[in-house]
Structure 1
Amino acid sequence: MSLHHLSGRRKKFTAALAVVAVLGLSACTSNDDSSDDEGNPNLDGGNSNAEAGSNDEAGDKIVIGFSAPAADHGWMASITDSTERVAEGYDDVELRLVEGTNDVNAQISQVETFINDGVDAIVLLPFDGAAMTPVALQAMEAGIPVVNVDREFDDPNAARVTVLGDNYGMGVSAGEWICNDAGGETDLVIGEIQGIASLPLTQDRSQGFADALGECGLEVANQVEAQFTPESGTDAATNLLRALPEMDYLWNHDDDQGVGVLAAIEEAGRDEFKMIGGAGSKQVMESIKADDSVLKATVIYPSTQGADGLKLARLLAQGKAVDDLVEVEVPREVQLYAPVVTADNVDKYLETAFES
């Protein structure tokens, strides 16, 4: 299969779901295309901006429970902050926002409390999708619709709707960028810094990366694990740089841990390679625009998934459909796109980037 066909297969699948995302989530807000003062479209939408008859028109008062991991890096903080901000725009939504935790048992207890309290819907970004599957199934069996965000459950029946970034597509996008930039050269040394290696999302990113590189005759020379934090990025990059005294390209899965990765690179005085990041932080995009480091690109992984999940949970709890679709039910899955940001298009994405 050619690189073009690999990309086409991924993009065809993602594009179909992206249409759902664009139609569905624009319908969840008003059809006003205006942005807020920070340039983030629709985050300030809600009942106050709703047109009569639109999905955003005030409905029955509902309670939505939201649980996510601890905001120990910028992307995760943005997940929670954007969800809370969107909820504030709805007079008919009461958001039960619990403290973020990386303790699976604590998160299970949070969901059990939501079930016992009889909330109308739950938006859940699990620290561990497999571990959270049983309690999510309990919620669904209790008649409480669950919107699963980012990290998938083991059982599709544990969620009414799943909102995902395109992890495999991130890897493909990063690999394609390297293939295109390499211009046909195959004798190249490529490093990879993962996030948490045990997570399916990380494994999907690595698989997409390997598949795309393989289509142009390249492969990863050395792969190390970080933990999505700056500190872990420093440690991982230090180990990788020692293992690879010469390198041509580096893909770092996450821009938050990339803060530490770049610090280690600067400390080592290395500048012979090009780096592509992942997620799309504001600091990374500004660095790409300034062209002041080895960092030349990043792959977007939207930090608005929780907010999107809340909008969909509101529709489910109020018995509404997505009014831009003919289908009378909210879709089962929404997957967001993973474009590459470079100096050529950075201004298009900079205003919606999250802070590391």
Structure 2
Amino acid sequence: MPEILTSVARRRFLLGGALVGAGALAASCTGNEPADGGGENPAVSNAGTDNDAPGETVIIGFSAPAADHGWIAAISRNAQAQAEQYSDIDFRAVEPTNDIQQQIAAVESLINDGVNAIVVLPNDGEQLNAVARQAMDAGIPVVNLDRIFPDPLSFRTYIGGDNYGMGVAAGHYIGRRLQEEGVENPIIAEVAGIETLPLTQQRSDGFRAALETYGFEVDISQGAQFTVESGQEVMSNILQARDEIHAVWNHDDDQGIGVLAAIEQAGRNEFFLVGGAGSSDMMAQIANPDSVVEATVTYNPSMASSAIRLARLIAQGRGMSDLVEHAVPQNIVLASETITADNVEEYQDLGFES
């Protein structure tokens, strides 16, 4: 069986395993040993700065969607592994779920338990806004991860990726490459994510804005569902619709496994591809000179590790030692970086398995 098609089968198997094992995160932990990443090293920061000096023990609650996607699985794994770096963190992860009402109930249970801080990646920021505000009103600081709550009073600190910046980074990489090759009127394809989501729209808007600076535009775009199966279906449709393509941007490295399977099945390689997120799978493709994948733009699940570190400092009443200010900032948006063959080794520690 070809390598990419084998990866598709492996991804489907791992998906089932992730759902079975997700409940293990509910256990409390205060140890200092790194978590077992199931063959993958979680993205954590080791103790060593002034901020890492032991302080008052704090209870940090954590809630995230179910691990039915490689990026989400890495979010939960990174959060737990980072918490285990500190002897002064009592980590309380509730059962991950994709059910809105169940996640609301889980966060309410953390509030009732009187935790010192809550880190939450909501299934839907708007629908969980009220329970996050409930926590804040109860004096429990909330670190809002990735999907933002619409009410600023519902979180103490927000940390997330730059969706518009992802599109900009991908657009500049593709634009420069095609310009350097002297390609005129290139056929540029886009495999987007869920088109109704604001984050997908932001990624597409940034992509188009960057391409415009080179005089280029997207020729064909179709939304997928951030899954292997949808990526394969959408890329197959695009390949059937265009006999020639010069470049492809795929919004999500998880669905990228399916995108590559469709490319392999079609036997096409006249174009290059840029991914999105920074998975270990895409980094391996980038390092392979025979792959169509030349780059991926980051949207790192390492943000969960940072969220735990921020929640600890906030709960202990400390600021960030690298900043002059005495308190943790309210908003932190991570830059989207471009990973290529020239720097791929530098990013291996942040990769996640699709």
| TM-score, normalising length: structure 2 | 0.84
Instruction: Specify the SS of the correspondent of 1:335.
Output: strand
The 2-side partners of 1:292 and 1:155 are apart by 48
Instruction: Specify the SS of the correspondent of 1:55.
Output: helix
| Percentage of matched positions with identical amino acids | 51
The 1-side partners of 2:227 and 2:128 are apart by 23
**Counterpart code for 2:315:** A
How many residues end up aligned between the 2 structures? 314
Equivalent residue for 2:46?
A: 45
1:243: how far off?
A: 2.6
Note the alpha carbon deviations across 1:27-86, whole angstroms, 9 max, x for none: xxxxxxxxxxx997982634xxx57xx222222221111111121222211111111011
Alignment counterpart, residue 76 of structure 2, candidates 80, 100, 115: 80
The 1-side partners of 2:311 and 2:349 are apart by 26
Note the alpha carbon deviations across 1:222-277, whole angstroms, 9 max, x for none: 22112222122112212222233321111001111100110011111221211100
The 2-side partners of 1:197 and 1:39 are apart by 31
Instruction: Specify the SS of the correspondent of 1:321.
Output: coil
- Pairing 1:110–2:78 present: no
Taking structure 1 as reference, are residues 42 and 242 closer, same or farther at Cα in structure 2, changes over 3 Å only? closer
Alignment counterpart, residue 125 of structure 1, candidates 121, 128, 132: 121
Where do 5+ consecutive residues of structure 1 fail to align? Answer: 1-37
The 2-side partners of 1:139 and 1:151 are apart by 17
Q: For residues 1-356 of structure 1, what are the structure 2 equivalents within 5 Å?
A: 43=44, 45-46=46-47, 54-183=50-179, 185-356=183-354
1:119: how far off?
A: 1.2
Equivalent residue for 1:33?
A: none
1:108: how far off?
A: 1.3
Taking structure 1 as reference, are residues 106 and 245 closer, same or farther at Cα in structure 2, changes over 3 Å only? farther
**Counterpart code for 2:348:** L
Where do 5+ consecutive residues of structure 2 fail to align? Answer: 1-38
Q: Which runs of structure 1 show a deviation greater than 6 angstroms over 4 or more consecutive aligned residues?
A: 38-42
The 2-side partners of 1:323 and 1:344 are apart by 32
1:196: how far off?
A: 2.1
Whether contact under 8 Å (1:166, 1:338) holds in the other structure is yes
Taking structure 1 as reference, are residues 271 and 153 closer, same or farther at Cα in structure 2, changes over 3 Å only? same
Taking structure 1 as reference, are residues 267 and 306 closer, same or farther at Cα in structure 2, changes over 3 Å only? same
| TM-score, normalising length: structure 1 | 0.84
Instruction: Specify the SS of the correspondent of 1:129.
Output: coil
The 2-side partners of 1:99 and 1:228 are apart by 22
Taking structure 1 as reference, are residues 241 and 85 closer, same or farther at Cα in structure 2, changes over 3 Å only? same
**Counterpart code for 2:44:** L
